[in-house]
Amino acid sequence: MSETTAPVTPVTASAPATASVRSRRVRISLGALQIVLGLFYAIASALPKLIADPSATEGFDKLGWGSTGMYIIGALELAGGIALLIPLLSSVAAVALSALMVGAFIVNVTVLHGPYVATPLILILPLALIAWARRSHNAELVRLVRRRP
């Protein structure tokens, strides 16, 4: 009787480990992006409007929206920036801020004709990425809202 042996291929855990490392890097990168955008909206975008910085007031006066419009937009940006930092709200916040950026783009193109016309469109891309990547939180958020009396 002759014995036949099949070549043994070593089983390594590199594929799952690689996927795990990649997944962790993606989560960290996405979290960093949320922090950067959240701070941008809260500090660089909302704060000048909420403290009535002359550059912000000038733009809103040109629009005819005055200080009321400026404070409303500033409050929306601040709320969106903070909500980006809250995991459960991050997807909804990204969608809401994207809608705000669409409005900012339209206003920049039609009324202001300013040098920063493309900025809102550029900001929509990372916001869309966050909204898509964090979409699983939406079901949990809906469950929490429905559970309330």
Burial (Cβ within 10 Å: 0-12, 13-18, ≥19) of residue 135: middle
Q: What is the mean pLDDT of residues 127-149?
A: 90
Q: What is the pLDDT of residue 16?
A: 63
Q: What is the mean pLDDT of residues 40-61?
A: 94
User: What's the whole-model pTM score?
Assistant: 0.82
Residues 77, 99: Cα–Cα separation, whole Å = 11
- Check whether 9 has a pLDDT greater than 70: no
Residue 56: what residue type?
A
- Check whether 10 has a pLDDT greater than 70: no
- Check whether 15 has a pLDDT greater than 90: no
Q: What is the mean pLDDT of residues 120-136?
A: 95
Q: What is the pLDDT of residue 113?
A: 81
